[in-house]
Chain A
Amino acid sequence: MPMLKRFSLMAAPAGLFMAIFFIIPCGVLFAYSFGHTSYADISFGTSPANYLRVISAPLFREVILRSLEVGSSVGLASVILAFPLAYAITLGPLKRAGTFIMLLVIVSLFTAYIVRIYAWRTLLGRNGAISQLLTASGVTGAPLEAFSYSKAAVIVTLTSILVPVAVLPLTSALSGVSSQSIEAARSLGASAFEAFVRITIPLASRGIISAFALTFVIAAGDFITPQLLGGPRAQLAGNAIVDRFGLSFDWPLGSALAFTLVVTLGLFLWVLTALLRRLGVKDRP
């Protein structure tokens, strides 16, 4: 069988599935974003009015900016927290326990998102365990309202959920760093710290960037955690989108908001990697 025919035959099932259930639906959503809604009727159209509304309304600008802020905080925190673990089980002293540690990380990765958010709510919520402990021990007089439903609660919860996501690319990048190149730097007179900063980090930079990008996109696009733990002042763009698809039934506006969010997230990551590249960090070693 000729190469091309075999390729098309083998790529067809998944290719067709992606065309029908991914590309076309995204196209439908994109078409909606230029349409409008009246009562229960949603119609396609060609008007950019929804995008103008997204850009001009302070509410939408605010939630998109907050999504960027929460996304980058969570991305940064996840990478910083996950890095020492990934380092310990690849180049560091916990290599032999690595399989067991990774097994725990994978269990946590596959534990239901909704269960983990629920678990954090039992800890941080108004009558949650932490608030109760603090009240009972006399540290605070009243239940901790300020932290339970806040941006900080959303960031802590999402970070805890996404650390395992960051561990995977970091581990695979660090296991590609040969200990010989680190030893070479050491024998040429570099201190352990210098070798780490000038050899290990640059060689792992691709893993660091993909760990940040993955956790950033998931956190910035989330709507469940802010809904359940955020309170009214920590709602993200995802919540505004879900509202348009639920309560206020304005799918065209919701679609425009969704595409604006995705494009903003993409631009943010693009600018970030461009800046890092200018600083001399390469995204591929």
Chain B
Amino acid sequence: MKQGRLSTLAFSTYVALLLMFLFAPIAIVVLFSFDSKGIAAFPFKGPTMEWYAAVAGDPIIRKAALNSIIVAIGTTICCILIGTSAAFVIARFRSRSASAFAGLMALPLLLPHLLLGISLLSFFTSLGIGLSVRTAIVGHVLITLPFMVFTLSSRIAGLDPQIQEAAATLGAGPAQAFYRITLPLIRSAMVGAALLVVAWSLDEFSVSFFTIGSDNTLPIVIWGQMRAGISPTVNAISALMVLTTVVLVCVVHRLSDIRFR
């Protein structure tokens, strides 16, 4: 059908242009990270790896990268520990208190991160708790927990509750039924959601900004270098962070049963 082909062409063109609007600026940054001029400006001077070498050799950046990884891993572990049972509550209980609980868990998604950041800052300060990587982990958990909980709960809601009942009938206790039956069924979704929490935490800036004190993560290093005037290593750090995101999202897509649509 001629009209059908025309609309396919129109939609494909539109989607391609929109994706360019999303990715072109990032592509340019990645490109300039290999240019020897060191600032993001045309024309190119020549290819180099020196900015990557500079990133690898800079103790501040290495410390920040280590902190980013510590925060991401800490956040993910907390999310799994706290979030899994919460996901079951939302998926399996049908009461007024269960929906109030779901509402409470969703609330941080609806508020500006700025508000979460300054309230944690006020809270820790009024208790005399010093800001550090540890307080930043709390902030990151607050932001990523709703994502973890709702991703898992939609997976759990799709499971047939009769499978668990069958296990119980066959003599499995609740703990055994959970570890032998339910957990294997949701393991893949848990791994996928956990990796996305890692990706999110590595990239998180606004809450770290208020809760990490004088420690650094990679996004905070980028912020600092940007405010101080462009530094050439920002391109390389950015490119490495984008690469990490792409790898994590592709791994989730290939290995977990989290479907993006």
Contact = CB atoms under 8 A, between A and B. Distances in A.
A245 B95 CA distance: 41
Interface in A204-229: 213-214, 217-218, 220-224, 228
A12 B29 CA distance: 45
B122 A108 contact: no
B4 A93 contact: yes
Contact of B115 (A89, A115, A262): A262
A268 interface: no
B261 A171 contact: yes
Q: Is the interface of A mostly helix, strand, loop or mixed?
A: helix
Nearest to B98: A7
Contact of B89 (A7, A110, A251): A7
Contact of B142 (A22, A123, A228): A22
Contacts of A255: 118, 122
Interface in B179-201: 196, 199-200
Given A7-B93, A102-B261, A108-B22, A118 B121 contact: no
Given A17-B145, A122-B29, A160-B21, A10 B85 contact: yes
A92 B114 contact: no
A113 B246 contact: no
Nearest to B239: A115
B112 A220 contact: yes
Contacts of B176: none
B127 to A, nearest CB: 9
B112 A122 contact: no
A102, A115, A218, A220: which has the most chain B beta carbons within 10 Å?
A: A115
Contacts of B200: 110
A169 to B, nearest CB: 12
Contacts of B18: 81-82, 84-85, 163
A10 B97 CA distance: 13
Contacts of B22: 104-105, 108, 160, 163-164
A114 B223 contact: yes
A251 B122 contact: yes
A128 B248 CA distance: 30
A272 interface: no
A222 B117 CA distance: 12
B226 interface: yes
A280 interface: no
A98, A112, A123: which has the most chain B beta carbons within 10 Å?
A: A112
Interface string B82-94: 1101101100010
A113 B122 CA distance: 24
Contact of B29 (A106, A119, A213): A119
Interface residues of A, number: 84
B69 interface: no
Interface string A68-89: 0000000000000110110011
A93 B8 contact: yes
A15 interface: yes
Interface in A86-138: 88-89, 92-94, 98-99, 101-108, 110-116, 118-123, 127-129, 132-133, 136
Given A10-B89, A108-B23, A127-B41, A118 B234 contact: yes
Interface string A1-40: 1010001011111110110011011101100100000000
B25 A160 contact: yes
Given A29-B118, A223-B114, A175 B141 contact: no
A14 B83 contact: yes
Contact of A258 (B12, B109, B114, B123): B114
Contacts of A103: 249-250, 253, 260
A238 interface: yes
A199 interface: no
Given A21-B142, A122-B25, A122-B29, A94 B118 contact: no
B7 interface: yes
A258 B114 CA distance: 8
A14 B149 contact: yes
Given A115-B242, A118-B226, 17 more contacts: A3-B93, A7-B89, A7-B95, A11-B89, A17-B141, A26-B119, A29-B122, A110-B196, A110-B245, A110-B249, A113-B219, A114-B205, A122-B32, A123-B28, A223-B114, A242-B114, A261-B112
Interface of A: 1, 3, 7, 9-15, 17-18, 21-22, 24-26, 28-29, 32, 81-82, 84-85, 88-89, 92-94, 98-99, 101-108, 110-116, 118-123, 127-129, 132-133, 136, 160, 163-164, 171, 175, 213-214, 217-218, 220-224, 228, 238, 241-242, 245, 251, 254-255, 258, 261-262, 265
28 contacts: A7-B97, A10-B89, A12-B85, A15-B104, A21-B138, A22-B108, A25-B123, A28-B122, A28-B126, A84-B18, A94-B11, A101-B19, A103-B260, A104-B22, A105-B22, A108-B23, A110-B200, A110-B248, A112-B203, A113-B206, A115-B219, A115-B222, A115-B242, A118-B226, A119-B238, A122-B25, A163-B21, A228-B227
